[in-house]
Amino acid sequence: MEQIGILEGRKRQVFEKKKGVGQPDIVCDTSSLSGSVSQRACVFCGSRVVLYPIADALHLVHGPIGCAAYTWDIRGAVSSGPELHRLSFSTDLQEMDVIYGGEKKLYNSLIELIEQYKPKAAFIYSTCIVGLIGDDIDAVCKKVSRETGIPVLPVHSEGFKGTKKDGYKAACSALMKLIGTGDVETISKYSINILGEFNLAGEAWIIRKYYEKMGIEVVSTLTGDGRVGAVRRAHGASLNVVQCSGSMTSLAKEMQEKYGIPYIRVSYFGIEDMSKSLYDVAKHFSDRPEIMDAAKQVVRDEVSKLYPSLQKFRKALTGKKAAIYVGGAFKTFSLIKALRSIGMSVVLAGSQTGNKDDYARLKEMCDEGTVIVDDSNPVELSKFILEKEADLLIGGVKERPIAFKLGIGFCDHNHERKIPLAGFEGMYNFALEVYQSVMSPVWQFVPRKGGNR
Amino acid sequence: MKHAKTATQNACKLCNPLGACLAFRGIENCVPFLHGSQGCATYIRRYLISHYKEPIDIASSNFHEETAVFGGSHNLQIGLKNVTEQYKPEVIGVATTCLSETIGDDVPMILREYKKTHKNGTPLPVMIHASTPSYQGSHIDGFHAAVRATVKELAEAGARQKLVNVFPNMVSPADLRYLKEILGDFSLPFMLLPDYSQTMDGGPWGEYHRIPPGGTSVSAITSAGSATSSIEFGSTLDASKSGAGYLEEAFGIPRYHFSLPIGIKESDKLFSLLETITGQECPEKYKDERRRLIDAYVDGHKYVFEKKVIIYGEEDLVIAITAFLREIGMTPLLCASGGKSGQFKKKLAELIPDLEEQGIKVREGVDFVDIEDEAKVLKPDFLIGNSKGYTMSRKNNIPLLRIGFPIHDRFGGQRKLHIGYRGTLELFDRIVNTVIEQRQNASSIGYTYM
């Protein structure tokens, strides 16, 4: 077979764990190499994913049509009520707007859309071109806010001004403007905000249920089944519980600074991390030991239900090898543990946006011979999947065809998923999905598994 | 209440660069390359993958802030070098975006510079540049821009040979395969551009392919300049913007220009042209297909007669489908497109002389909220178009028959056939079944024979 090389400019972002030898740190946190076909998107994408699940807000994309069209209802973030977030709004800038400026079009669009849809707030995303033609979107937002009486928040997400992470930050600073504007009087001392949980396939509801069983009040799920009103009250919570740390840590830090709310990082994937995320919250409220007792009860109940049902999968999957390539590094930690709990090992672990600490931890966690990659691309992913003879790839839509073309199983762990994978019941779904893909008889026909011709 | 409407809501179009990427994917050993932000490439990949279920690598020059200030030349050149190294392509198809167009990057000049600096190394890939600013037109314009740029870059003059160029428009991989079968059965050497029938709908791989196998070869495109004629589909496609138009201008190759061949009348035009070009009678196989299609029309005519529909999508597809629907006695209420060529109504009227008389509404440059508003008043029996109409279909309880691109919520969209007698038959079957299913579901009796 043809040797696949790694681009010179990317070699320091790829690493294979080896015994004994001191190895340099992986290089990360950089912008993508030109021409390398990164799996990342852009600043706009970062902002859009964070704010998208706020279901009673208007999300207007200021730019040419593509940015809004490609993000129309692409995510599985579900709402228990309004669904304004599932519509796609764009100022659809044309050549004349580019020449003469798009402010007037933005203003008219906003006034009309707010009149028509009566949102509780509006987020205005600026795209690449807005950064060039110099529309003063802050001024337009202020004016419209004054005239309509709702918060109209600019999100400075010009695609080229950084990476997806900068988009997270832009979204967080828009959220910070909302937080602190609601009434917090009735909020319990034993209360949390859930940050970075997007309610894909209703996952936030599952998590919320566990915390509520423990006697914790969930003030806001911010970005999953989100509501403007709840975001406004978020400063009333006693603790911020942060999943998807890549996107929401900066918000948690800001809230700590401004409102003195401490935060913890958690993950809801896999039995181990899910349990820990309940215990850690209980520990925070140690002045009320009933909370810890309740947490233990929740874990006991759930695990005793879940554990026997996993055995079938574990038996079938033991010894199978997985490759992981997802957006945030924190998720890879949980996935490694979750895969181990069903008998699988991990031969490739990577993320689009991990930082130095993440990769150091990943290095610690992984077995020898595991390849660790930052901001990888299809060529590299294919190379390692083949070399390491993986049986499964975990990733998103863009990774799926790589797996399928090469004839290996795939588990969608990205924002389009329709099946909840978080929580204890999510662990069952995860194991089931992995099992259904890896154990399918169709692989006998693919060339890599000996299917001829 | 009717609302004033400045913003586009639920767009019925995509942006210019998407079409260019798809077209470049139809060239053998070609990597599409977007000169702009990383997001454009990634979003477009994701969007295409969700329809075609195939890998599509699109490179990006990945603009940063400094790039936007100082120009994209440096990034583009690094990108070209990296793509060349990593993919070893024969062709790199560079399409611009709103970003690089607005800062005014002179891409042809940058490409020339790049070639000059790298002329002493290994042979460089062919570099094609298509100008596709996202603030102009829609994806279909990008598609044609890439096709035209490709022949412009590669086609060479030569002694006329028995060869026909075929520019099929943005049809499905299944349509492309069928076209090739037809041309093969007429024993007619052809140059089909683009041809993503395999790159976007191929088999499993035994080993890794940097670029999926398939596509129109560079040498075939080079020979386009010596063909005897070109066939081009797409009523609104102007010669000044098309591949065949360029070949006519540059090499005097006659351009036969049609609607997409959907329905009997439009398919007949294609087959009789092929008879003329080859001097050969239409193979029995296709006469058979035609007879079977007529037989089906007859068997199913009562189901479809005066059934009311709204058709939306790319202008050329809508025109062709509407002509077909009139041929079977259906009643199009509205022809709608997010595109805005300015030719939509005129070209519809050319194929459907009683357009006005029938009261068929024609609207260009609309979005799905406009179409939904119309649907509420017009009350069609069903909708025909891509799967982005599902939101309004569900909300208003109007069935949707999915055709074209994208089909994101059904399996096998890339294998749907639309053109020729065979494609028309497939469409006709699906239409009749939509009606039957509706009737069956609505009946309290639950008929088991329909």
Q: Is residue B447 part of a domain?
A: no
Strand partners, A392: A322, A409
**Is pLDDT of A4 > 80?**
no
Shared domain for B321 and B430, answered yes or no, is yes
Picking from A5, A128, A402, the nearest residue to B37 by CB comes out as: A128
Comparing alpha-carbon positions, the chain A residue that sits nearest to B388 is A72
Sheet with A57-62, strands from edge to edge, namely: A152-155, A121-126, A57-62, A89-90, B8-9
* DSSP state string for A151-197: -EEEE---TTSS-HHHHHHHHHHHHHHHTTSS--TT--SSEEEEES-
| In chain A, % of residues over pLDDT 70 | 97
Backbone φ, ψ for residue B72 (5° rounding): -95, 5
User: For the domain that residue B36 is a member of, what is the CATH number?
Assistant: 3.40.50.1980
| In chain B, % of residues over pLDDT 90 | 92
Q: Which residues from A are below 8 Å from B56, CB to CB?
A: 401
Q: Confirm if A364 and A357 have CB atoms less than 8 A apart.
A: no
Distance from CA of A53 to the nearest CA of B (A): 17
**Is pLDDT of A292 > 70?**
yes
For residue A21, what are the contacts with CB-CB under 8 A and spacing of at least 6?
none
- What is the pLDDT, as a whole number, of residue B154? 98
A191-301: same fold as A8-26+318-417? yes
**Is pLDDT of A32 > 90?**
no
Number of domains in chain B: 3
Q: Which residues from A are below 8 Å from B75, CB to CB?
A: 34
Which tokens hold the place of B26?
A: 């139809």
| Higher pLDDT, residue A3 or A234 | A234
Q: Which CATH number describes the domain made up of A191-301?
A: 3.40.50.1980
Interface touch B98/A401, C-beta < 8 Å: no
- What is the pLDDT, as a whole number, of residue A452? 58
Interface test with A, best of B3, B5, B8 (most A CBs within 10 A): B8
Shared domain for B230 and B305, answered yes or no, is no
A73/B contact by beta carbon, under 8 A: yes
Lowest model confidence (mean pLDDT) among A302-311, A322-331, B237-246 = A322-331
Give the whole-angstrom CA distance, residue B270 versus residue B261: 7
Distance from CA of B428 to the nearest CA of A (A): 30
> Along the 450 residues of chain B, how does pLDDT read in single tens digits?
567 799 999 999 999 999 999 999 999 999 999 999 999 999 999 999 999 999 999 999 999 988 888 899 999 999 999 999 999 999 999 999 999 999 999 999 999 999 999 988 778 999 999 999 999 999 999 999 999 999 999 999 999 999 999 999 999 999 999 999 999 999 999 999 999 999 999 999 988 888 999 999 999 999 999 999 999 999 999 999 999 999 999 999 999 999 999 999 999 999 999 999 999 999 999 999 999 999 999 999 999 999 999 999 999 999 999 999 999 999 999 999 999 999 999 999 999 999 999 999 999 999 999 999 999 999 999 999 999 999 999 999 999 999 999 999 999 999 999 999 999 999 999 999 999 999 999 889 888 887
A-B CB pairs within 8 A amount to 247
CA distances, B413 to each of A416, B348, B400, B404 (Å): 19, 26, 14, 8
**Is pLDDT of A2 > 60?**
no
Which tokens hold the place of B199?
A: 């790159």
Q: Which fold has domain A43-174?
A: Rossmann fold (3.40.50)
- What is the pLDDT, as a whole number, of residue B1? 53
Residue with the two structure tokens 């062919």: B126
Shared domain for B254 and B297, answered yes or no, is no
Interface touch A92/B11, C-beta < 8 Å: yes
Shared domain for B290 and B268, answered yes or no, is no
- What is the pLDDT, as a whole number, of residue B446? 84
- What is the pLDDT, as a whole number, of residue A28? 81
Q: ipTM of the predicted structure?
A: 0.95
The arithmetic mean of pLDDT across residues A63-82, rounded, is 94
Q: Is residue B448 part of a domain?
A: no
Shared domain for B140 and B51, answered yes or no, is yes
Shared domain for B53 and B102, answered yes or no, is yes
Shared domain for B407 and B304, answered yes or no, is yes
Q: Which domain holds residue B44?
A: 16-153
Shared domain for B143 and B219, answered yes or no, is no
Shared domain for B74 and B176, answered yes or no, is no
Q: Which residues from A are below 8 Å from B49, CB to CB?
A: 397-398, 400-401
- What is the pLDDT, as a whole number, of residue A379? 87
Interface touch B43/A71, C-beta < 8 Å: yes
For residue B372, what are the contacts with CB-CB under 8 A and spacing of at least 6?
B392, B395, B396
Lowest model confidence (mean pLDDT) among A88-92, A286-290, A299-303, A445-449 = A445-449
The arithmetic mean of pLDDT across residues A142-157, rounded, is 98
Q: Is residue B418 part of a domain?
A: yes
In chain A, domain spans: 8-26+318-417, 43-174, 191-301
Q: How confident is the model at residue A284 (pLDDT cuts 50, 70, 90)?
A: very high
- What is the pLDDT, as a whole number, of residue B207? 80
Q: What's the pLDDT tens digit per position in A188-207?
A: 999 999 999 999 999 999 99
Picking from B8, B38, B138, the nearest residue to A90 by CB comes out as: B8
**Is pLDDT of A430 > 50?**
yes
Q: Which residues from B are below 8 Å from A89, CB to CB?
A: 7-9
Q: Which residues from B are below 8 Å from A35, CB to CB?
A: 33, 59-62, 78-83, 86
Shared domain for B290 and B437, answered yes or no, is yes
**Is pLDDT of A230 > 60?**
yes
Q: Which CATH number describes the domain made up of A8-26+318-417?
A: 3.40.50.1980
The arithmetic mean of pLDDT across residues A56-65, rounded, is 98
- What is the pLDDT, as a whole number, of residue A1? 44
Upstream peptide bond of B17 is cis (omega within 30 degrees of 0): no
* DSSP state string for B267-336: HHHHHHHHHHHHT-PPPHHHHHHHHHHHHHHHHHHHHHTT-EEEEESSHHHHHHHHHHHHHTT-EEEEEE
The arithmetic mean of pLDDT across residues A428-452, rounded, is 91
- What is the pLDDT, as a whole number, of residue A145? 98
pTM here? 0.96
Q: What is the mean pLDDT of chain B?
A: 96
The arithmetic mean of pLDDT across residues A273-295, rounded, is 97
